[in-house]
Structure 1
Amino acid sequence: MSGAIAATPAVADKQTRERISALVEFVLAEAKKSGASAAEAGANVNQGLSVTVRLSEVETVEHTRDKGMGVTVYFGNRSGSASTTDFSADALRESVRAACTIAKYTAEDDCAGLADPGRLAKDFPDLDLHHPWNPGVDRAIELARTAETSAREFDARIANSEGASLSTHEGLEVYGNTHGFLGTVAATRHSLSVSVIAQSDSGMQRDYWYSSARAARSLDAPETVGREAGRRSVRRLDSRQLSTRECPVLYEAPVASSLLSHFIGAVRGSSLYRRASFLLDHLGKPVFADFVRIHEQPHLKGAAGSAAFDSEGVATRARDIVRKGILQGYVLDSYSARKLKMNTTGNAGGVHNLAITPGPDALDLAGLLQRMHTGLLVTELIGFGVNTVTGDYSRGAAGFWVENGEIQYPVEEITIAGNLRDIFLRIREVGGDVDTRGNIRSGSILIERMTVAGN
């Protein structure tokens, strides 16, 4: 994206990193002085700019700058937590005192405590996460306005706009504990989005598009974002309903990642030790079609989910969660691992660049449509009718009906349903059109058969 990158703001410069790190160490020392057997503390400082333009007029300009400190203390198996946004010494001491007081009244929990010292990160590679950008308000407005104008000019049927937004974010996070761990992460995230409304004799349809990246230079041009938002809105005009049927369903890449989110929810430690997952006791068993590989890539340069350590300081590592369709491991933090009598997988705070590997043919969307031949292409999901205890799945959807490998017409007001056990096993293809904008990276996913409920 065009636009000069300004000097690094003060939120994550060397001086600020040292100051925030010293505050975390101060809190840990205060916790030890108060008699805590162990403690952990995390601080964050964030700043950003967000502008929104609608119909070429500026609607909002928001500068943000905030900070916070959280501390958890342990007295044996009792724990207490407190937080503050005041970084003065007195306020930090008071937060420690509050956490200690809370700990006196909590029940003992044998699984509570810091991560095991041997699992804490010792190497901190440069993951290329920090690219500050300060375009200034005028430039930010110009970029948002350009994106919206490109969307509105895409087609005469673009009748209205929900606006375009540009945002920049820079954050510094510092985590430390009384095992001697202290880690800092400076990271940025910038985005540009547009949402417009198309209209025809049959009614109105809206759609949107966005670009997101660690570095401003990696954002799509505003004209590109705008044109895609316009194209996606116009193609939904004159939507129809479908009759109820069973057919193949192709999830477009931006919505296919939701299937992986449901999978992770079912293999997360908190779901497993509560015995509230349809994948309970499935370790070592087939849960996906036999060609499927799902893995974490925490050390990808500049990616959305990259991290050298998790929110407990545990070192992250690349690993397969599913290999050849078989479940290889769970998603655990230290607490859930102890509950399950297992070891943490370095996933306190979530997964890191979770990816499903494209199938052997790595087909693009056009190729997947040909492979499906006849069925439903889903481009939007509505609502959240997913039960991770039973695996039952039912979500509102919109998209396109496909015949002979070609899109025939848009469809809306339909529901796609099944059970996630069957859906995962019925994956027929994973496309090479991988959406890399988020922490879950997936191409389009073709399901052999699902129920589509319509009129």
Structure 2
Amino acid sequence: MDRATQELLDRASALVEAAKRAGADASDAVVARSSGRSVSVRHGKVEATSSGESDAFSLRVFVGNRTASITANKVGEPADLAARAVAMARVAPENPFEGLADSALLAKNIRDLELVDTVEPDSGQLTRDALAMEEAALGVKGVTNSGGVGASAGAGGFVLVTSHGFCGQTLSSRFSRSCSVVAGDGTAMERDYDYTSALHFADLETSADVGARAGARAVRRLGARQAGTGRVDVVFDPRVARGIAGHLAGMVNGAAVVRRTSLLRDHMGQKIMRSGVRVSDDPLRVRGVASRPFDGEGVEGKALDIIEDGVLRNWLLSSASARELGLETNGRGVRAGTSVVPASTNFAIEAGDVAPADMIKTIKNGFYVSELFGHGVDFVTGQYSRGASGFWIENGELSYPVSGVTLGSDLLHMFAHLTPANDLDRRYGAAAPTLLIEGMTLAGK
């Protein structure tokens, strides 16, 4: 353990000790640290550079069934912060579900999940990467303008100390490259983008590949027109299919179930997808973009099948949400401001058996979605309505680009009529392969 990490652990431990002296029955302290640098370029010139680092301190105390949290950018005298937190807790309303995680569930041996890369590209390297992306994109025939290109590198993590004996630290690095370009001119312009992100610098896709794909995507959209209104089978490109995985992750979140703001709240143990479809969440995946050796309460999570053979099997749970549902936490608690709430980790709609091209070949008339717009998704009622663009499918092939249409359905129908392809890419916190969803409503001309 390096000196900087030990210093953070010492500060967190001092806060916990101060809370005990101030009268707290239990407490935990988190010190989060982040750092990063980024460069953006346009038309061969650097538009902006940034670099920074920050620490954030959080102390959560419990006095009986009452709790309070307090945060600060820096800690002066731990006793002062602890005294204020305990005073706040004593006048807070009682909540029988709040409290530290069960000590029996705390991580005993913190795993090395290979989340940190020691490579630290400087601003010069990031600038060269961004310029190479833009050059590759502008080199695509039909691309007429740059929408902005960026490269970034950073790291973030936290230490956690609890009054019932947990002490641990976790850190991960992050690198990214992104490129946005415009094709065409006048009233016939189209924009598109591409990006890559990874925990390890060597795992990034090359600048040339990212730029070339962004350019090709934009050019392919030229000449878009509306499609006719009707019910169609819709194929979601993985880039937008990840959004459907994200919707599902929100609906199986234990906090949403407790608040009764999830359409799936009464569907545990029921079949909501086709036989053979599986949805997983795994916090311990080596080099997983959302992996963590322990959660925000010190609990080591385990791989779960959220949906198994089409049947809903698990919620994502923190200690408080689990207690309120009469269950046990599965290590999905994360720090969100002054609270601990459940969240997904490496959440994925698992791959099926069919290749995307073969999936498209089965469709006589349909819609291949490459981009979605708007926020018309209601997790309580299940209503789904979003603007979309992509390509019309005709006799099993992508025929012409489509824009200016709206897709409508309800989430239960979408889940029940979903077929995953075999091209799952796990490099995202919410991942999905190409998805076919039958019988959606397309509103066009």
Task: Compute the TM-score of the two structures, normalised by the length of structure 1.
Answer: 0.93
Cα distance, 1:200 vs structure 2: 4.5
Please say if 1:226 is aligned against 2:217: no
**AA at the equivalent of 2:311:** I
Between the aligned partners of 2:84 and 2:134, the Cα distance in structure 1 is: 49
Question: Counterparts of 1:90-239 in structure 2 under 5 Å?
Answer: 90=77, 92-155=78-141, 157-200=142-185, 203-239=188-224
Distance 1:307 1:398, change over 3 A: same
Mapped contact 1:285–1:327 kept (Cα < 8 A): yes
Which of 8, 16, 22 matches 2:4? 16
Question: Counterparts of 1:422-441 in structure 2 under 5 Å?
Answer: 422-427=413-418, 429-441=419-431
Q: Which moved more, 1:433-442 or 1:23-32?
A: 433-442
Which of 423, 440, 443 matches 1:450? 440
Residue in structure 2 matched with residue 5 of structure 1 by the alignment: none
Which of 345, 355, 368 matches 1:377? 368
Task: Compute the TM-score of the two structures, normalised by the length of structure 2.
Answer: 0.96
Which of 358, 362, 365 matches 2:351? 358
Please say if 1:31 is aligned against 2:19: yes
Unaligned runs of 5+ in 1: 1-12
Root mean square deviation of aligned Cα: 1.3
Please say if 1:54 is aligned against 2:39: no
Cα distance, 1:115 vs structure 2: 1.0
**AA at the equivalent of 1:313:** G
Between the aligned partners of 1:405 and 1:341, the Cα distance in structure 2 is: 49
Mapped contact 2:234–2:367 kept (Cα < 8 A): yes
Between the aligned partners of 1:300 and 1:118, the Cα distance in structure 2 is: 23
Mapped contact 2:158–2:171 kept (Cα < 8 A): yes
Residue in structure 2 matched with residue 7 of structure 1 by the alignment: none
> Deviations along 1:282-325, whole A, 9 cap, x unmatched?
11100111121011222221110111211111111011110110
Between the aligned partners of 2:404 and 2:434, the Cα distance in structure 1 is: 21
Secondary structure in 2 matching 1:144 = helix
Q: Which moved more, 1:332-341 or 1:28-37?
A: 332-341
Mapped contact 2:178–2:210 kept (Cα < 8 A): yes
Cα distance, 1:367 vs structure 2: 2.5
Unaligned runs of 5+ in 2: 335-342
Between the aligned partners of 1:385 and 1:309, the Cα distance in structure 2 is: 34
> Deviations along 1:106-125, whole A, 9 cap, x unmatched?
10111111111111111211
Between the aligned partners of 2:361 and 2:181, the Cα distance in structure 1 is: 30
Between the aligned partners of 1:277 and 1:48, the Cα distance in structure 2 is: 36
Mapped contact 2:143–2:181 kept (Cα < 8 A): yes
Question: Counterparts of 1:203-282 in structure 2 under 5 Å?
Answer: 203-282=188-267
Cα distance, 1:93 vs structure 2: 3.1
Between the aligned partners of 2:186 and 2:276, the Cα distance in structure 1 is: 46
Q: Number of paired residues?
A: 437
> Deviations along 1:76-95, whole A, 9 cap, x unmatched?
1111111111144x2x3332
Between the aligned partners of 1:106 and 1:86, the Cα distance in structure 2 is: 25
Residue in structure 1 matched with residue 397 of structure 2 by the alignment: 406
Which of 275, 281, 304 matches 1:296? 281
Secondary structure in 1 matching 2:333 = coil
Mapped contact 2:350–2:424 kept (Cα < 8 A): no
> Deviations along 1:235-255, whole A, 9 cap, x unmatched?
111110112110100111111
Residue in structure 2 matched with residue 3 of structure 1 by the alignment: none
Identity %: 34
